[in-house]
A = this chain, B = another copy of it.
Amino acid sequence: MKNLPHKTIERLSQYRRALLNCLANGKTHIFSHELAKLQHITAVQVRRDLMLIGYTGTLRKGYNVKELIDLIGTIIDSENGINVAIVGMGNLGRALYNYFSGKRTKLSIVATFDKRYEKIKEDYPEIECYNTAEMEKIIKEKKVDIGIMAVPAESATTIADKLVNSGVKGILNYTPKPVNVPKDVYLEEYDMITSLEKVAFFVKKQNDDV
């Protein structure tokens, strides 16, 4: 199964969540076109992705929901779990925290960091928040694998460097500032402003084209 395309990985994550939903509704089998509809993609896309991961369904019955969930798990989850830290506990950091907390068993938020960690602890006592100054120490102690950056653009570079020095293996950067990391650290960046400007562009274009 060697090298799955990036886009397939993304879709697998989404298939799994859709499938978990189906399972909860008591659905045991699903057709490629049903799964496709849930993600607004095509049935061929689904079949191709599943072909790539070597899963084969039953003709006329479709795919076994439970089996497929498990198979996707073996591909994208790590057996021993992955430890995640969030840096920056402003609105975005807390949004991410609430999103992820306790949802995926194999991904756990084991620490959060903020310059004003005392304020965070006071306002949200349930969040385990440390001083950003202690980042390197705590990340090593808690064996954090992935750091999520939700700090202001100005601190992006500093924080990325600190994360790298602490030994994380992956960074998810929500800062609008692109950061540089050594190639053995996997970097994923997402920029909300770009997304909104992109939507704005196509909305404008649509008006112009009509």
Contact = CB atoms under 8 A, between A and B. Distances in A.
A86 B199 CA distance: 14
- Most chain B CB within 10 A, of A38, A40, A170, is at A170
A203 B170 contact: yes
Interface in A173-201: 176, 178, 180, 184, 186, 188, 190-201
A32 interface: no
Majority DSSP secondary structure for residues of A touching B: helix
Given A40-B178, A104-B197, A172-B196, 17 more contacts: A6-B198, A9-B202, A13-B191, A17-B193, A39-B178, A76-B200, A78-B200, A100-B192, A103-B193, A107-B197, A146-B196, A146-B200, A170-B200, A171-B199, A172-B199, A184-B206, A190-B195
Interface stretch (A59-67, A91-99, A111-119): A91-99
Contacts of A75: 201
A169 B198 CA distance: 13
B107 A169 contact: no
The number of times this chain is found in the oligomer is: 2
Contacts of A99: 192-193
A102 interface: no
A98 B103 contact: no
A102 to B, nearest CB: 13
A203 to B, nearest CB: 4
